[in-house]
Structures are given as C-alpha cells and as structure tokens.
Amino acid sequence: MPELPEVETIRTAIEPLIRGERLIEIELRDRTIIRGDAEAFRSSVMNTRVTDVTRRGKHLLLLLETGRGIALHLRMTGSLLLKEPERPNRVRAVLSFANGTRLFFSDMRRLGTITPVESIEDYICRLGPEPLGDEFTPDRLACCLAKHRIPVKAALLDQHIVAGIGNMYADEALFEAGMHPLTPANALRDEQIFHLCQAIRAVLERAITCQGASINTYALPNGERGTAHDTFRVAHKQGAPCPECGATIARLMIRKRGACYCPSCQHLRNDSTV
C-alpha cells in the first residue's frame, strides 16, 4: 500500500495541477528520502518545468523539460497531500511549484523514496509489464509466469514480473479467477491464464473507479479516503463468509506475506507446493 490504483488516483489528481509548471523548491525535511546525493539532486531539478506526470506500476513519475525525471515511490505508508497533514512530523519532503501548488510527501514508516532518473525508459524497463497497458495480454502474462515455480500469489507481488499489483489486489484477482494462491505460477493452463489476466485488469479498474482503498494510511491528495476496500470480497476478510459460497475465508502465509482466499471456491488443483 499504496498499490497501482492508489498511485493512479494520485496521478490523476495532481497532473492538472503541476503539468507544465516549474518546480521552484524542494524542501527536504528528511534527506534520506533521496536516492543519491540530495544537494546534487536539488540543483539538477530546480526551476525545471514538469512536462508530464505518468506512472508505471506503483511508481509515480514526473517528466522534466530537461529529459530527466523524478520517481516517487510511496511504498507502504507514503502519501502525497496538497495540504500539510495534522502530523507534520511525518512529512519528509515538500515539492513547491510556481503556481503555488505544494505536494507534501508524508510517510509514517519512512520507507518511501524520491529518485532522480536520468532516463525514464531505462527506469521503466526494470519493472514488469503495466497491467492496464495494451501490452498486458494473456500471452504476455503467460510469458512472465512461465519461468517461475513460485506460488502464483508470490509471482503477482514481484514487481519485476508484473508491475503494480500488491497484496490485497492479488488476493482479489485470484479469487475472481477462481485460483488458489499456492498454485505454481508455471503450472497454469491457458484458460487459467486468460481468466487471471482478465481478473487482474477488472479488479484494478474497479479500484481506480473507487479512488483506491483506504485500509491504513492512504488518502487522496485532498485528504479524502478511497472506497475500494468496501468492494473487497476476500482481501482483509479472514473469518468472514465467502460472498459466493458462504464458506469461511481463510488466510495463509506465502513467503512472509498473508493471502486471503476461499478454500471452497479456490481449490488447489495441483498437489505440488513451493
């Protein structure tokens, strides 16, 4: 958290405010937020115009007129807010623009990063395919999963395999596809791959429509909460009845991450485990 729907919601909210505007100040209240030399970074981006605000997976990207960029990764508890939050001690950086817009990077666990990017294309190439992009097809997903024997749930969380999917949306997509989270990624049949690809896209698009899920610290830039969590059927629902069959939603640990699923609707059809 925040995952793809939350970051896309943030991108949509701030793009009309900062696109075409000059970045006139970066206040670093916590210099460790910068990947690299903080002063060199500030001098290289100061008074440059933002030509586009884009995203890849969970990464928010500000493209600059110099051809360089700034990558903001909110990680677990980061938020970009248009007003200083009630707890200003959580603000690690403030980006100020010529039109008066200010973005407060608030981050309770201090895990988020701001990274200077020489080449946006090179930065994006390190990540897996964009689940909402035209290139994300069943064939592309099959290709991404074919080399991995790890559980499909773990594969979906690997940002080098698919970009943008986090724990809760992986649970929702696997439930919608009727797939057990321990199913080996390279053991999926063509039909399963097709349904999983469709489920991933549907789950993410629904969450964007709801402006993301405010499970923990996530908020829209204006401070309001998203409502995608109200539509969840298995994610964060351990012990609740399955909305399809009424069975009790279970939770298991997969590579140190929790996975919520319905034991009745999501059978483990392959006996192999990882």
Residue 132 pLDDT > 90? yes
Residue 267 lies in a domain: no
Final residue in a domain of this structure, among 104, 125, 146: 125
- Quote the CA–CA distance of 234 and 97 in Å, as a whole number: 41
130 is catalytic: no
Q: Which of 55, 58, 92, 153 is catalytic?
A: 58
17 and 68 part of one domain: yes
Question: How many other C-beta atoms can be found within 10 angstroms of the C-beta atom of residue 67?
Answer: 12
177 and 216 part of one domain: yes
Q: Which of 2, 116, 131, 151 is catalytic?
A: 2
186 and 110 part of one domain: no
Residue 273 lies in a domain: no
- Quote the CA–CA distance of 206 and 24 in Å, as a whole number: 36
Q: Please give the residue range of the domain that contains residue 50.
A: 4-125
Residue 130 lies in a domain: no
Final residue in a domain of this structure, among 100, 125, 150: 125
257 is catalytic: yes
Residue 197 lies in a domain: yes
92 and 152 part of one domain: no
119 and 177 part of one domain: no
* First-to-final CA distance of the chain: 25
Q: Which of 21, 138, 257, 263 is catalytic?
A: 257
202 and 94 part of one domain: no
Q: Which of 3, 6, 172, 176 is catalytic?
A: 3
| Ordered DSSP codes for 168-189 | HHHHHHHHHTT--TTSBGGG--
Contacts of 76 (CB under 8 A, 6+ apart): 1, 109, 111
Q: What is the pLDDT of residues 41-93, one digit of tens each?
A: 988 999 999 999 999 999 999 999 999 999 999 999 999 999 999 888 999 99
241 is catalytic: no
**Number of C-alpha atoms within 13 angstroms, CB side, residue 140?**
15
Residue 270 pLDDT > 60? no
Q: What is the pLDDT of residues 212-243, one digit of tens each?
A: 999 888 999 999 999 999 999 999 999 999 99
In the chain, the number of structural domains is 2
10 and 119 part of one domain: yes
Residue 266 lies in a domain: no
Model-level pTM?
Answer: 0.94
Give the CATH number for residue 183: 1.10.8.50
Give me the pLDDT at residue 269, please: 73
- Quote the CA–CA distance of 269 and 174 in Å, as a whole number: 14
Give the CATH number for residue 90: 3.20.190.10
191 is catalytic: no
